[in-house]
Structure formats: C-alpha cells, structure tokens
Structure 1
Amino acid sequence: MSLNIEQIKSDIDSIARSLGIKKYDVFGSAKEESSASAKNKKPFGLNSASKSYLLVRVWNDKQQAGVTSTSNLTYAGLTDALILAHSSAEYASTENIYNFSEYCQDSTENMQISNNQENKITMQDLVEKCIAAESKILDHSPIFKSVPYNKVGDSFSKRFYFNSLGAFKISENNIAYCYFFPLAQETNKIAREAGHISISKGFKNLNVIDCADKAIKKTENHLDYINIKSGKYKTIFSPEAFLDLLYAFGNFLNAQNILDKKSLLNIENLNTQIASSILNLSDSPLHVENPDPCHFDEEGTLTKNIDIIQEGKLITFLHSSFTAQKFNTKSTGHCHLGSKLTISPYFLHVSKNHKIHIDQEFSLNQENNAIYVENVKALHAGVNALQGSFSLPFDGFFIKDGKKISIESATVAGDFLTLLSNIIYIDDNETVTHKGISPNIWIKELSVTGNS
C-alpha cells in the first residue's frame, strides 16, 4: 500500500514538538478494496476504494485527553488534527482520567506484522469470478430467477499505533470475500431466498464456486415449506444464528457497559454461573481460522485469545486500559477509540465443555417436533440489549421425525440470559463462520410464533 506510516509518525512527532504537545498517541487504519457484482451474467457494480484515517489523542498539562479524527494526512491536516485534539482536551472529564495502555509505555512491545500480502487482484479477475458463480446459480435451474445480492472482493489493510513514548506497532492483512443470495420461485409458491458468505486469507484461498454451490443448496432447502403453529419448542440454533445473538447482546461481556450501568450483568456476576455448565465462550482474535486477525487494539494493547465463560461461569469481562484500571485488572486488548472509549469482541469462539458428562446425546436427524433456526433477522429492531429480551424473525426449519422442513415465516422470542442457562446440548462439530466459530446449540425451550 502507498501509505507511508513512518512519514506520518515523523510529521506528527515534529508537529507535536512545535506545538509544545508532550503527550499524544495515534491509531490509524488504511484500506484498499476492490469488488465486483454481476447481474444477468454481466458486470454490475464495480467498485474500488482507498480509505485512510487517524484517531488522535492529545493530553494537556492537567492530564485531560482530547480526541479527534482526520482523513487529511497532509502536514497541514495533521497539524489541524493535533491542534483540535489539544483544544478539545480542555472540555474532557477531570474525574475519568485516561492514560496510555500499560503495554505501550516504551518501545519494548513494538511490532510489525505482515501476512505476506499477495499481488493485487485485477478488477477483471473479480468480474470473471463473480460472473462465473452467478451463471452457475442461474443455470442450475429455471426456478432460480436472479441473484440480487452478490459480490466478490479483495481487500488490503494496515493498522498502526504509535505514541509519544516511542511505542510503534504495525500490522498488515489481506482478505478476500464473496457472497451469493439467490432468489428462487416455484410455480404457485412464494419466492424464497437464502445464501452463503465466504471469507479467506488472500484471494488464492477463496473458493468462489464453492460459495455459489452452498448458496444453491441452502436456497433449495427452503423451496418446500410449511406453516407452523405458535407454541413453545425445543430450539436448535445454527452456528451463524447463535453467534449473531451473542454479538447482539455483547454488552454483557463489556466492562465499559458495566461501568455505565448499561449491561445485563454487573461486577457481582464475575466468577458466578451465568450459563449452562456445558458452555465455554472465548474471544479469539488470533485464532488460526480467523481470516482477519487483530494483533493490537486501538490504544496499542496486544491482543490474545481470552476465555470469557468457562463451564458456564463468567471468568472475565472484556477490558480497555481504562476499565482495567477501574476493575483492578489488566486490559484484554479490546479498546476502540473515539469521543468515548468503547469495547467489543473480535472473533467469538463457542465450544462444548467436555468435562461435563451428558446423559443424552442429541442429533438433528433424531429430533422430532423441534425448530432449527438457521438465520435470525432484524437484529437492529428485535433485540432489547438492556432488558435482555428478543423477538426475531428467522429462516429455519421444523424438524419432524429427523427430517427438516422449511418454515414459511416465523418469529422466535425469549430472554437472552435464560437462553444461556437453558442450553441442554452443544454439538461436537464446530463450524467456522465469518463472525466466529460455533457448533449447533440446543435450547430447552423457546417461544415460536408461526402463521398456522
């Protein structure tokens, strides 16, 4: 990538000295991305973009910190950013004093990570791959009318952090991705849509045709459908659906939300049972299967794989350096800078606690009168993250005598913490998704509203 990070660091060091600024830090990100879509076997929606920005924190003599962001990386733009951050520090809180991460006090943890980026893929390559995949879907059967949502893309990115004490960290990454969501309709039936998303480390590892094949299979599974009666059902969440639910209620992992009293939990829940004893949960930004690993957070703290729930017990929250100080612990490397520091997980990993003996093994092909939730929808509207309740439309199946039958439309509802406690089984087979890793998850009972 063309961005000269060393020059930006040198410029900011020089500007800070000239302005008399003694304490500052900078997080930056740069991305070059190209993508292509197809429509009726022709190129459609070709895009290339290059984006760079900095988040700048400056401390004044009272140790108040001001924050600003800029995408103007010229010398003049950097000067304006430091002046603005310094002037805004005057209005910062004097009660909550932010500081550098304890892991960024000097140059001992400096790092530069390169993931052996490939040569850039041409737009022609992206177009050809996308058209070939879309054509395969459309040619598979006349019932496949279109592929309204499709894309193949390639992205190169850099993340970097430096501060006035000499800390300096850079990481580079290259990911490729594709997704296909076909629309299919049989005679005298409603149109049905499903799809698949694939992400890989580098374009050479991206199997676009395989993604299209999976999209075809998923869509075909929903062509024959039924209505179901409303009631309480044993419910099985797919890996994708369960991870979506965890991210939607991510405030229960978040130490900043605990301090702000905007979480389902509080500090007294630490080291207590909050879920079924067969559940283990970790955040694994450096997992070998994570296509977009994050090696440090936005205040420069090195990340690592963190166990959050073990045997159903909450053993840690996710922390920034500020919340770690408040909780008398160490940062977990989950800080995101802004006018207010925020915290969020990177790559959640749900697994089964094999130490617990389970009297009964469960299998989808042995279930009866159960619901399989393949994909939850409307998370922005159907989740009350502060109360813990959810009511979400979903794509899924009614399981009768071990056979899955697609449901025309239905809604699943419940309480998130109750759901965690009512996990009765976790499959041994884990699935890697673009958001994390999880097996199928069996819930004792949830309310499902159907149309029958």
Structure 2
Amino acid sequence: MLNISELAAIAQDKAQQLGIHKFDLSGSTVDDASVQVDQGAPKQVKASNRSSVTVRVWNEAHQVGIASTTDVDALGLEVALKTAQEASAFGITEHAPDFSPEAKVALPDSPNEIVPQAPISDLLERLCQAEHRVLEAHPAIVGVPYNSLSQRDVERFYVHSEGALRHEAQSISTIYLYSKTEQEGKKPRSAGAFRMSRQLETLDVEGCLQETIDKTISHLDYQKIPTGKYTVVFSPEAFLSLLGAFSNLFNAQSILDKQSLSTPDSLGTQIASPLLSVADDMLHPANVGQSLFDGEGTPTRRVSLIENGILKNFLHSAGTAKRMNAQPTGHANMGSKITVGPHFYHVSQGEPGQQSYSLAEAENVVLVDDLQALHAGVKSLQGSFSLPFDGWVVNGGDRISVESATVAGDFREVLKSILYVEPEVHLTPSGVCPYIWVEGLSVTGE
C-alpha cells in the first residue's frame, strides 16, 4: 500500500530544493486484473499496475502551472514539480485556481479495505461457467461476445504544501455479460447485465447471468411498433443515461462557460414534476466505488439537486464555488484543468402522486430498457434527444419486444411530464433509481 506520509515528505523536500512555496498533488495508483473468454476458452487476460499524479505549482504572481507524471517516486515528483514550476509563467491570471478551503477538513475514518486478489485461473473458471450457463439457456443464444470479469485495487491521494494529507484505498470486482442470438429469418438480438462488489466472493455472478438470460429470451419474439405518442417507462439504467447526458443542468463549470441548459438564476425554479427528487450522493451505502474526497481534497457529500421538482443546487469545484458565492461540493476532477462531474445519482419520489401505476396492469405502454447511441443522438445544449432503444410494449403485464425504434423528445419536457415515480429504487453502475413513467413521448417505429 502507498505510504502517503512518505510521498508528502518527498514532495515537500523536492519543492524546497526547487524554491517552490505552494504546490499540491492529486493522484491514484491502480492494480488491475481482468479476463475475457470465448466459447469456454480464454480470449484475453490483462493485468496492469499504473499510477497517475497531477502536480500544480503556484508562482509568486499566483499563476498556476500544471504537470503530470506516472512515476510516484522522488525523481518523478521532482521532474513534475519543476515542469509545473516552469509552466506557471504561462498560467492564467483571471479566475486562477487555488486550494480548496475544505482540503484540510477532517474526514470520516476510511477502512482502506484492500482485498487480496484471486488467481487469474479462478477468474477464468468463474467467467467460463457463467458464459456456459448463458449459452445453454436457449438454443438461439449463440455467443456472449462481450464479457469481462475483473478485480481492481485503487488507491487515491491528495497532498498540498500547507499540510493537507488525504489517502484512501479500496478493492472493486466487476462482471459484465452481453449475449447475442441467431435465428433463421430473424434479426440478431442482444442483451447484457453488469454487477459490482467490493470483493470477488460477494460478486453477484448469478444475478448477472440470470438477468442476461431473461432479457435475451424476452427479445426473441419481437414485433414492429407503430409510430406515435406513448406513455414511456424508463428503466433505472435508461433514465440515468439521460440524466447523465444532460448533466450540464447541474454543472457549475458548464454554467459559467455558458455551456448549460441552466443559468446562475435557475436555482429555486421548477424544472421538473413535483413527483421527482434527485441527489448526487457519492457516500450512498449502495455505491461500491465510494470516495471520501475529490481531486482537490474537498470532502464528498450528498448534494440535493432537485427537490420535489425544484432545482436546489449545482455541483461545484473550489473555483466555481468561489465565483458563484457558494460552497465546494466535492465534485472536482483534477487534470490539465479542473473539471466538474457527477458521482453517484440517487433518484427518488418527491411529492406523493395522486395515482400509482403498475407495469402489471399497463396498457400500450413502452418500457425503455436500454438507450443507445447517446454520443450521436443527444444535443446537450439544446435539450433534445433522439435515441434508438431496446425495450418492450407492455399490455396487461405481457411484454412484446420492440423490433427497432427510437424515442425522442426534449429532456426538460421529459422532466416536467413525469407521470409517476415508482417507490422502489434499483442499483445501477451510475446510481440508484426507480422506474420513471413519462407521458406523451414520441416513439418512431421502423
């Protein structure tokens, strides 16, 4: 495990030798092992150990220079500090970044749980078994072309010249399965599932393969869907995909850059149905990848973004918070520049709805399970989207797979047209979220 005190001492010593009075370091080390299989045989085995450190140096004129290195040793830090020192002469003078005012605030005790990694042979055996069970589940399933089982140890740290010292470590195991079918006279169909856990022994492999099988089989008997307006139910994964695509709504840096659907005056306005509440909560108990601090050393926390449809907060770095007279929220990412990004969404019911709905009783409702081509079908600064999707038409509890279709609309109107937010939340890689019912969305069939 990384000795953060020794790293800080080396950096301080090298900075003094170079005449540097103000600096900080933000970085991580990752020990990663993963396997992929194909028809019961190993397809790819990868292992890596890599480090990344971003160094910032302030000169006497309060300009900042930035450099990066992959060497977490005395020589690597010295070169990075010297390079950043030289680059500071070209640093900006307007809205120059500074230390986070919360970089030295006490953090909760971190367990720093690094779990010993299992042998590669164990990963291959488990993944081969999972692939075999998916292939045996139905004659039409001919392959699992995309699959992976991995385990990763991650250590993160932040240090600055005025005494901030942050360090955390954790292990994460993941499995991903994505199947493919072939039937004479029919189009290939696919489906996938993903699971994460803090260690391999508690990873829900069974749930992942069963979800893959169930979804794949449900897509075999597909039909065309007439073009028109439908009540659309977004799965947790689909709704969070849309929310992530339009995250500029909450991003303070995007707002300051005028690259957002919001403005500084948007706070306190009704942007969604009162039925919806949204928070960003890195410390949510279900979040396997919890982190106690961001790239600037600011403690992470739960930030309420939408309460009963009203926009309550933006996501901030130390710099955006200073410019907008707010507090940093622990969402800064350190790189060649400071960026702001969400961590882990928690979508929930807002005000109680006047009526509840159920897929078991729904009539002519489109259930969107997975949105595709978000890189091409989203116009994030206009609010519009038109996206192919995998899903079903639901009638009285019966689900008929949609052959090929797109769902389109304006995300701001989607938020305001929410008909129902189901009470039960489901865990996804990007957050926890219930099924979201939206009225009157355009669906275009093939």
Distance 2:305 2:48 in 1: 37
Partner of 2:357: 362
Aligned partner (choices 406, 410, 413) of residue 408 of structure 2: 413
Structure 1 position 112, deviation (Å)? 6.2
Distance 2:250 2:28 in 1: 25
Distance 1:447 1:210 in 2: 33
Partner of 1:336: 333
Structure 2: which amino acid aligns with 1:270? L
Distance 1:9 1:427 in 2: 48
Structure 1: which amino acid aligns with 2:316? H
Partner of 2:366: 371
Distance 1:255 1:29 in 2: 25
Distance 1:124 1:224 in 2: 38
Structure 1 position 195, deviation (Å)? 1.0
Structure 2: which amino acid aligns with 1:30? T
Distance 1:316 1:103 in 2: 18
Partner of 1:128: 125
Aligned partner (choices 108, 116, 137) of residue 113 of structure 2: 116
Report the aligned-residue RMSD. Answer: 1.3
Structure 1 position 330, deviation (Å)? 0.7
Structure 1: which amino acid aligns with 2:374? L
On the 8 A contact 2:275/2:349 being kept in 1, the answer is yes
Partner of 2:210: 213
On the 8 A contact 1:137/1:144 being kept in 2, the answer is yes
Partner of 2:426: 431
Instruction: Provide the secondary structure at the position in 1 that maps to 2:394.
Output: strand
- Range moving further from structure 2, 236-245 or 69-78: 69-78
Aligned partner (choices 216, 237, 240) of residue 237 of structure 2: 240
Structure 1 position 347, deviation (Å)? 0.4
Partner of 2:380: 385
TM-score normalised per structure 1:
0.96
Distance 1:408 1:109 in 2: 54
Instruction: Provide the secondary structure at the position in 2 that maps to 1:45.
Output: strand
On the 8 A contact 2:281/2:346 being kept in 1, the answer is yes
Structure 2: which amino acid aligns with 1:338? G
On the 8 A contact 1:29/1:53 being kept in 2, the answer is yes
2:25 is aligned with 1:33: no
- Range moving further from structure 2, 68-77 or 359-368: 68-77
Instruction: Provide the secondary structure at the position in 2 that maps to 1:366.
Output: coil
Q: Per-residue displacement from partner, 1:167-186 (whole Å, max 9, x unpaired)?
A: 10101111100011111223
Q: Per-residue displacement from partner, 1:21-64 (whole Å, max 9, x unpaired)?
A: 00001101111111111111112211111111101111000111
Partner of 2:64: 65
Distance 1:386 1:155 in 2: 36
Structure 1 position 391, deviation (Å)? 0.7
Distance 1:98 1:182 in 2: 47
Distance 2:355 2:137 in 1: 41
TM-score normalised per structure 2:
0.97
Aligned partner (choices 314, 334, 338) of residue 317 of structure 1: 314
On the 8 A contact 2:107/2:292 being kept in 1, the answer is no
On the 8 A contact 1:112/1:169 being kept in 2, the answer is no
Aligned length: 446
Aligned partner (choices 301, 304, 328) of residue 301 of structure 2: 304
On the 8 A contact 1:414/1:447 being kept in 2, the answer is yes
2:437 is aligned with 1:442: yes
Q: 1:111 to 1:422 in 2, by over 3 A?
A: closer
- Range moving further from structure 2, 188-197 or 66-75: 66-75
On the 8 A contact 1:110/1:167 being kept in 2, the answer is no
2:149 is aligned with 1:152: yes
Distance 1:401 1:112 in 2: 50
Structure 2: which amino acid aligns with 1:418? E
- Range moving further from structure 2, 20-29 or 358-367: 358-367
Instruction: Provide the secondary structure at the position in 2 that maps to 1:413.
Output: strand
Partner of 2:390: 395
Distance 1:72 1:159 in 2: 14
On the 8 A contact 1:370/1:399 being kept in 2, the answer is yes
On the 8 A contact 1:110/1:168 being kept in 2, the answer is no
Structure 1: which amino acid aligns with 2:373? A
Q: Per-residue displacement from partner, 1:81-123 (whole Å, max 9, x unpaired)?
A: 111111111212111121111112x5x5267623422221110
Structure 1 position 79, deviation (Å)? 1.4
Distance 1:317 1:227 in 2: 41
> Gaps (5+ residues) in structure 2?
none
2:180 is aligned with 1:191: no
Structure 2: which amino acid aligns with 1:334? H
On the 8 A contact 2:196/2:204 being kept in 1, the answer is no
On the 8 A contact 2:359/2:396 being kept in 1, the answer is no
Q: 1:115 to 1:14 in 2, by over 3 A?
A: closer
Distance 1:153 1:13 in 2: 36
Structure 1 position 268, deviation (Å)? 1.0
